[in-house]
């Protein structure tokens, strides 16, 4: 076995609602004894499609020793569930740029003369594919240029409110002087690009760290750094800003887990931003 990303289910948080099950066409999850369970490492691809559908923030992605994901075993399980489940699985692989697994899945279907319910497109590399197709809000191609017509011309130069460096969560020291006793913003990478007035309305007077819950590695390190903000830097408040896409919920989940495991409790505010820069929700956790 080797270390890889795989989901983790917090049994204390899980209420057994089963909302995660439809988002796992691979069949890695089942409700057993009133709780969602990962029934086999072989079936979990570690991409976290189930995270956004969990209302209790009970599912996270961790990096641990696990059996290697087996696409053929997954396909044997999936074909028994019919065309719609096959289609959902193929689209899931495609939207996450998993071209090797997608090729394996398509070959499996061809070998058994099973219809391939997916648009016929050349299979490309994972890097090329990340922006080419998606039904997932996190990577689906959208064009907002019509919005430009509504923008009024602004005059004058707006001053940056950034007061520190570095800002990436892997690079910052949680006990740096600019965090001590401060109000801190932990924001998903994309938020500042979506919010036109991010600096003026949210960053001014605050310390910051940025992270991506979908692409960043070693998120257990993130958990420890957030916890250190609470216990060592003794920050005043933590505002977690995320995009509306399901994978972004992982960042808020990390913050909530950190405060639960911390000896010192700090108020956490969550702000969800739409893809076009609107505030969808603003709540204290």
Q: Which of 183, 198, 176 is nearest to 239 (CA)?
A: 183
3-state DSSP percent of the chain in helix, strand and coil, to 5: 35, 20, 45
| Phi, psi angles (nearest 5°) of residue 187 | -125, 140
pTM of the entire predicted model? 0.58
pLDDT band of residue 84 (cuts 50, 70, 90) is confident
Q: Name which of 61, 20, 62, 57 is nearest 37 in CA terms.
A: 20
Token pair, residue 66, equals 């696990």
Domains in the chain with CATH codes? 2-129 (3.30.70.20), 160-284 (3.40.50)
Label residue 133 by pLDDT band (50, 70, 90). Answer: very low
Which of 116-120, 168-172, 269-273 comes out lowest in average pLDDT? 116-120
pLDDT, tens digit, for every residue of 17-62?
Answer: 888 887 787 888 888 888 888 888 888 888 887 887 788 888 988 8
Beta bridge partners of 243: 273
Dihedral class, residue 29 (left if φ above 0, else alpha if ψ from -120 to 50, else beta): beta
């Amino acid at each position: 076995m080797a270390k890889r990303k795989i989901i983790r289910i917090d049994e204390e948080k899980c209420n057994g609602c089963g909302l995660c099950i439809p988002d796992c066409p691979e069949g890695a999850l089942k409700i057993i004894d009133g709780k969602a369970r990962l029934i086999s490492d072989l079936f979990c691809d570690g991409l976290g499609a189930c995270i956004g559908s969990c209302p209790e923030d009970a599912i996270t992605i961790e990096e641990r020793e696990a059996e290697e994901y087996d696409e053929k075993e997954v396909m044997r399980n999936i074909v028994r569930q019919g065309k719609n489940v096959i289609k959902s699985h193929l689209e899931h692989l495609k939207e996450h740029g998993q071209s090797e697994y997608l090729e394996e899945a398509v070959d499996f279907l061809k070998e058994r003369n099973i219809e391939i319910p997916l648009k016929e497109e050349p299979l490309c590399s994972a890097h090329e594919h990340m922006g080419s197709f998606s039904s997932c809000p996190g990577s689906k191609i959208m064009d907002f240029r019509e919005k430009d017509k509504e923008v009024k011309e602004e005059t004058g130069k707006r001053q940056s409110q950034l007061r520190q460096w570095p800002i990436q969560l892997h690079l910052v020291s949680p006990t740096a002087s600019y965090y001590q006793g401060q109000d801190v913003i932990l924001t998903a990478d994309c938020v500042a690009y979506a919010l036109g007035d991010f600096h003026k309305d949210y960053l001014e007077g605050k310390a910051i760290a940025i992270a991506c819950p979908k692409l960043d590695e070693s998120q257990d390190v993130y958990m420890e750094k957030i916890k250190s903000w609470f216990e060592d830097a003794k920050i005043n408040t933590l505002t977690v800003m995320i995009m509306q896409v399901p994978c972004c919920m992982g960042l808020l989940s990390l913050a909530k887990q950190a405060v639960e495991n911390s000896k010192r409790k700090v108020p956490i505010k969550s702000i969800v931003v739409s893809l076009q820069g609107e505030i969808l929700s603003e709540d204290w956790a």
